[in-house]
Structure 1
């Protein structure tokens, strides 16, 4: 069985999770679930990034020791993963001993290969970003200099170990050219290549100005730069340095999902660190966009960050999962609004798929004795619907391999619209009086369509599609895999009475509340 390794970024524990964190993990979860449906052996990793000056400061501001602070905030991210139904196989924390050991092993390997040297660093540093910036990247307002991210910077001078990043410039450019799908989407790839072409400076990879971090082997006055520490998590979880660990067979990772603000670290520093240590780089880094909230950027000062768990309570888990990946092409920025979510829920989910399922299964209960009709010959109209179903898994899989989640969903819901057109055209409720065999055939074909939709939509809406598959009489386990679609269900099976799949939202009440 072929293996597939997919990761979220590990989330920085200086604040509680918001909708942006849920978005990244959701995309990772959907891809992991799809690969399992394909029959792949999947390793899905998420976790928390718990070291660095910013965390140390946040803990101090909260009146807590850093470890107690990170224990508390990391739990919020575990809770988010559980409540959002994420199927991660591991949750890593950078304060774990296994991770500290992996970081120090990687450092020692880089040092052994003469990729690290001791010097001193001075430059413009943003505490919020845990990053240094060149003078040409800065802007100035009211006497304060700012990084491209908007974070204020300060001039810092301190002893530091350096990684010989500059020597890897040509290799990186060659690697990008030979692996055109390594960075996606295309706009992020262009930005990264432009940055590398402009030249790379050796990278400061240790700090002495604070102590909350992984100690540098042989020089405990230094702690590792938070990004060297954080990026290593992906190989820690895969068993490094304990080769041959059973999980090491998952490396290199198939996809790292990241926000567009950290693509440079993942697409430049990370492959360079790995190549320098003699470890294969990951296969792909996908940088998604950011969400604004009702037209405004999410920020602490505006107090408009949305708690995804509150949205789950308000609208339901699966409608939220569906909306986040349906509304905006993954990789683009998007605006979150409750009205848009309600429009998707009431329209595509309730009126589209939910109504199709309710009508079909109710007609089977009333007109077929509650039993699944047997397979029947196909008319031209039947073939038009069913031939499209045969192509559905491959089309959805192709879109997901390119991280085009919205395209995958549009492909499915175009077929749902076709099926709604089919039931309107065939009118099985009228055929009971004129042609019962034809009525049964039409209902059987609609059941076949619903089975296909439910199976391919499981990664997006696992709970709701599980309930639909129950109502369709589809056996659990292998019976709900993509491979199972090749074999028709035997006719004559008793089906349970249908129940509504989605709860529509009163738009008038929503408008009054907002």
Structure 2
């Protein structure tokens, strides 16, 4: 049975243009999607846009536009960025899609018919930015506990989902499934949240206050709460954005999951963990559907230790970074610099440091010097090698290569992207050390050392081929260029099993050395004193 892997990002609000936070989650999801495709898994990778709600309505009003027209104007900016970042998503959902809206209404009707949705009067503190109510005990000094913006007192009649009745069941589920919420610190955070009584969830907004949303199927005076609408995208997409309805194919069942045949992974920022771990989980329980395999909450990127915001003028635009430094340098930096579950600090200096040290000095140099020596000492053709000419250097190099894919798999499946790249870079650095210690420029001076020289040149080029496979999910553009310069036409996205083994590179292959992968970036010296 072919394993299935369903990977999602949150669907992003269209009240503003895409920023580094959007890019971070989506690049991480892309790495996972590409990795699982490499290993022959059936992957469905979903991203998209959350186009309803008060923030979108207000942004459209500010732009003097109809909300749908406003969404239509911003949606291409996200799609263009994903193309620029080489994002390989299978589908792009928009919550204004008529089929998604119909699916949300079908879901609401199912819960209403089961008497899991009821109408009641409610008074509480409302945060417009987060589009949610807070209780008296949550609000401190009139500020939203999440975004720290002022809240307003509201009294209104609304429809509620009986979320509270699933509290004990959810606690038990989290405790019994340690991989359900990751990292572990976030699981503890959710369990801490659930120690307080869980209230029922308001799932509607009166049209008198908010008109931009999906009508409730049982009361047209109300629209659906934006989070309820948004969360349903994870299952609505499987009904109409796949070649054929594929809920049964991609959504998890515990028996398939236990056998390791099916995975559903939601990547989210830590700020929206509660809505996924609590709201979404209880919604699925009410619908009598299995929960996803894992919800992984990653950290935020800051600038100079401060959270990014338009008011501070420190929001990082991925388009600007990619324009200056290239797409794969950006992808590499985001996933190498910090562990995925932790916060990271973005700086131009750190990015340039990674480019110069890791990408130019290490990876780029290994390719350039290996191919230069094949041009110089082997007429531009990969030479044959014999194990008779092996030394401890070759044995150590091959041993590292033979363990590389298992090490990368362990780290990538645990979403330890930085550790996977560290493991790959051990081989990059070992490859450079191998050339230094083998000194092919010295071997080339003696005819008697020809077999030894050929062995060294072959090992250098075969190491690069293996590296291109291991690095492909992270740096697809760069690795395709590596393969091209090695004179190969390999499809790194779908290698055959033999390509994963040492020795696949055929002697006699004509290389096609090109420009350096990553030219060093010269920085201006800082004035002294």
TM-score by length of 2: 0.93
| Pair 181,363 (structure 1): closer, same or farther in 2 beyond 3 Å | same
Q: Which residue number in structure 2 is paired with residue 504 of structure 1?
A: 520
Separation (CA, whole Å) in 1 of partners of 2:243 and 2:220: 26
- Correspondence 1:318-397 to 2 at 5 A: 318-377=328-387, 378-397=390-409
| Pair 244,47 (structure 1): closer, same or farther in 2 beyond 3 Å | closer
Residue 500 of structure 2, aligned match among 477, 485, 502: 485
Separation (CA, whole Å) in 2 of partners of 1:200 and 1:307: 38
Q: What is the deviation of 1:376?
A: 2.2
Q: Which residue number in structure 1 is paired with residue 16 of structure 2?
A: 15
- Correspondence 1:179-198 to 2 at 5 A: 179-198=177-196
What is the DSSP-based 3-state SS (H/G/I as helix, E as strand, rest coil) of the residue aligned with 1:207? Answer: strand
Q: Tell me if structure 1 keeps the 8 A contact 2:109–2:218.
A: no
- Correspondence 1:1-40 to 2 at 5 A: 1-40=2-41
Q: What is the deviation of 1:137?
A: 2.3
Per-residue CA deviations over 1:385-413 (Å, capped at 9, x if unaligned) read 11111111111111111111111111111
Q: What is the deviation of 1:244?
A: 7.7
Separation (CA, whole Å) in 1 of partners of 2:117 and 2:488: 58
Bigger shift: residues 14-23 or 494-503: 494-503
Residue 254 of structure 1, aligned match among 255, 260, 264: 264
What is the DSSP-based 3-state SS (H/G/I as helix, E as strand, rest coil) of the residue aligned with 2:154? Answer: strand
What is the DSSP-based 3-state SS (H/G/I as helix, E as strand, rest coil) of the residue aligned with 1:91? Answer: strand
Residue 161 of structure 1, aligned match among 145, 159, 162: 159
Q: Does 1:226 align with 2:214?
A: no
Residue 462 of structure 1, aligned match among 476, 501, 523: 476
What is the DSSP-based 3-state SS (H/G/I as helix, E as strand, rest coil) of the residue aligned with 2:367? Answer: helix
Q: What is the deviation of 1:9?
A: 0.4
Bigger shift: residues 107-116 or 282-291: 107-116
Q: What is the deviation of 1:241?
A: 12
Per-residue CA deviations over 1:184-232 (Å, capped at 9, x if unaligned) read 1111111101111222111111110211111101211111111110000
Q: Which residue number in structure 1 is paired with residue 126 of structure 2?
A: 125
| Pair 32,243 (structure 1): closer, same or farther in 2 beyond 3 Å | closer
Q: What is the deviation of 1:328?
A: 0.9
CA RMSD after TM alignment: 1.8
Q: Tell me if structure 2 keeps the 8 A contact 1:456–1:482.
A: no
Task: Give ranges in structure 2 of 5+ residues lacking alignment.
Answer: 253-262
Q: What is the deviation of 1:242?
A: 11
Q: Which residue number in structure 2 is paired with residue 287 of structure 1?
A: 297
Separation (CA, whole Å) in 2 of partners of 1:12 and 1:157: 26
Q: Which residue number in structure 1 is paired with residue 286 of structure 2?
A: 276
Q: Does 1:418 align with 2:419?
A: no
Task: Give ranges in structure 1 of 5+ residues lacking alignment.
Answer: none
Q: Tell me if structure 1 keeps the 8 A contact 2:465–2:505.
A: no
| Pair 92,379 (structure 1): closer, same or farther in 2 beyond 3 Å | same
Q: Which residue number in structure 1 is paired with residue 174 of structure 2?
A: 176
Q: Which residue number in structure 2 is paired with residue 439 of structure 1?
A: 453
| Pair 279,480 (structure 1): closer, same or farther in 2 beyond 3 Å | closer
Q: What is the deviation of 1:347?
A: 0.5
What is the DSSP-based 3-state SS (H/G/I as helix, E as strand, rest coil) of the residue aligned with 2:146? Answer: coil
Q: Which residue number in structure 2 is paired with residue 237 of structure 1?
A: 237
Separation (CA, whole Å) in 1 of partners of 2:341 and 2:14: 24
TM-score by length of 1: 0.95
| Pair 243,388 (structure 1): closer, same or farther in 2 beyond 3 Å | closer
Bigger shift: residues 22-31 or 127-136: 127-136
